[in-house]
Structures are given as C-alpha cells and as structure tokens.
Structure 1
Amino acid sequence: MADTPLLHQWANDPELWASLVGWHFPYSAGSAENWVRNYDGRSIDSISLCIEDEELGLIGTASLKPINWKDRNAFYGIMLGDPNTRGRGLGKDAAMAIMRYAFDELDLVRLDTEIVGSNKVSLEFHVQALGWKIEGVKKDWFYRDGKRHDKVIAGITADDYRLGSSSYWKA
C-alpha cells in the first residue's frame, strides 16, 4: 500500500499518458487504493507487476494481459513512471526479465505490443534494444494533444528473443 500514492500520481500524469497506448481517465486516490487493495494476482489471464530498483524503489509497472493460453501469446506493456529513471538501463532490465518469464517460465511463443507512433524513444527501445519487429502501422489511430498519431504494432517471438538475448544474460 505504500506505493499507492506514486501509482496514483502516474495514473494522473498527462505527459506520461500522452505517450502510452490506451484510453485513460484520471482517477482518485481512493480508486488507486481500491485497485491495489483488491488486486490479488490470481487472475489466470493477466499479470501486473511493479518494477523496483534497490536504491530508487518503485520506478514503473509491467504487464502481460491478456494472456492467451491456447495460442500461447500475450499482450505486453511496460512503463517507467519517473522520467529521471529512463535511459539508465532499468527499463531494459525489466523488459528482458518480463520476456524471460513469458518465454522460459510461462512457455509463451510470442508477445505483442502497441506503441504510439510519435513515441520514438519507445519504438527505438523495442526494436533496437530488445529485438522486437514492427509488424504493422494503423494510420491516425490515436488522438493526443490535438493531433492524430499512428499505432505501431510490434511483436517478438520466443525464438527471436532467445537468439538476441543470450549475450544479455551472460553479461
């Protein structure tokens, strides 16, 4: 419960949400507290995790949802809430850990994500740092700050992850 105020702050940060996928309305501190209190982590089709650093504490969130167990794939999302934590390798560590968990523990065969086309940092991060592939673009999908933005669809397979991750885990 100690992290609830920070989660509430991030949930109501318009700059942060302008670069993320999804529709989001601001919500109250009480709503954030209820979500944390009622989240039991026992859903069979979604996993929501907090990203923590030993020195900095809570720095973001990551999720796999929904998980499609029949076809062995999931939608992946990651967010670093504090801009000062970005660019330090913490997001890559978290993303690599989530992919390792998805592919090596849950035995999923692919992950998908969607990225706001104007979020060049996220696009570069996923494609260049993590090895994801851009698989499509939906023109003018998002409306942010009075402008239309494309939805970039990206994915990674377990095979591509394993091919690109071996040197990362040896470091």
Structure 2
Amino acid sequence: MNIKGKKVTLRALEREDMEELRNFYNDPEIANLLGGWTLPISSEQQNRWFDRIEYDDRNLRLAIETEEDGFIGVSNILNIDYKNRSAHHGILIGKKNMRGHGYGRDTVMATMKYAFEELQLNRLEGDILEHNIPSYNLFIQKCGWVEEGRKRDYAFRSNRYYDQIIVSILKKEYEKLCLELGYWKSEV
C-alpha cells in the first residue's frame, strides 16, 4: 500500500533506491545536517543495511516519490512502540533542487496521517540539530510540532558542538492542525 500526500507518494524502499540513497547520505552537506550518519557508506554497506531492514516491523523506512522526479528522499517511522503508541519520525529530502517546494511539508503531513490514522499511534517525536533551521521551521512552524527540550552539545559538526532539539506532536494536535489548515479537506 502506498501512502498518498498532496504532492508526494510514500512507498516501500526498493533495492533500486539504494545507490541514490547512499549518495544522499555520503553528501557532506546533507551529513552535516543529520543527527546520525556521518561516516562514508559503501555500496556493500548500503546493501547489507537494506537486507537487514526487510523484516523489521518496528521501523518503517519509506521512499518519498514525486510523479515528475521519482525518488527524492526518505521518510522514517522508527522505534514503533505499539503498546504506548509512539514512534520516532524523521525525513530527508536528498535531492537539493526539490527543497523549498512543499514536498517536505507534504511528506510530514502524509507520514503523520499514516501514523495516527492507520497505525493508531498517539505520539510522534523527532530530533533536529540546532543549526538545521529549515528542518526546525518545517516541523515547528509548518507542521505543528512542539519543542520539548534539548540535548546540549549533542553532535560534533564542522569543528564545533550543536544541541539536539527534541520535538513531538500528539494525535490530537495533528487533528487540530488538519482542521485549522483544511489540509486533507479536498479528500472524499
């Protein structure tokens, strides 16, 4: 089952996506903004990672696709806790020319819709490095997330430390946001 947004489709990652995904993560500009990966990844490492995730039902890694440009990034729902109905969410728009056109917002909205309405989760959380202003603005200003706190000097990038900002949204906050924005209103 694919997850449809207004501008993007979220679908299962395919082996054919691995080379482009590896290129995204090996790009120093992208790696500088991420809280995790900061080491170069080989094709073999990328393929072994893909083989390991195939049967992982607690971590969903979805390809972000547009009709015009195909695979542009990934959206994750990780560490799904079905008992407490919570998970971690993050996205990466790897094709730089696709940023600033609403694909990130539509990806987060479609991921939240799936997490809250299909998986019946109550809470999504995420983290953003403090110098990643576009991601902060996306989650906080455009998608209704709330800053919960910071992990001080969490990540070392470009010869200095940056805080990790912890953000979250609850199902009721997502529902209120959808009503206020009329985001899914055109659906039947």
2:38 corresponds to 1:24? yes
Quote the residue 1:135 is aligned against. Answer: 148
Counterpart of 1:110, as a letter, is R
- Equivalent residues in 2 for 1:81-160, closer than 5 Å: 81-160=94-173
Q: Using structure 1 for the length normalisation, give the TM-score.
A: 0.94
Cα distance in structure 1, aligned partners of 2:177 and 2:118: 18
Superposition misfits of 4+ residues, deviation over 4 angstroms: none
User: Gapped runs of 5+ residues in structure 2?
Assistant: 1-14
Quote the residue 1:44 is aligned against. Answer: 57
Quote the residue 1:67 is aligned against. Answer: 80
Counterpart of 1:154, as a letter, is V
Tell me the number of residue pairs that the alignment of Structure 1 and Structure 2 aligns: 170
User: Gapped runs of 5+ residues in structure 1?
Assistant: none
Counterpart of 1:119, as a letter, is N
Q: Using structure 2 for the length normalisation, give the TM-score.
A: 0.86
Could you tell me the percent identity over the aligned residues?
36
RMSD: 1.3
Alignment deviations for residues 44-79 of structure 1 (CA, whole Å, 9 cap, x no partner): 211111100111010000111100111100011100
- State the secondary structure of the residue aligned to 1:142: strand
Higher relative contact order (CA 8 A, sep 6+): 2
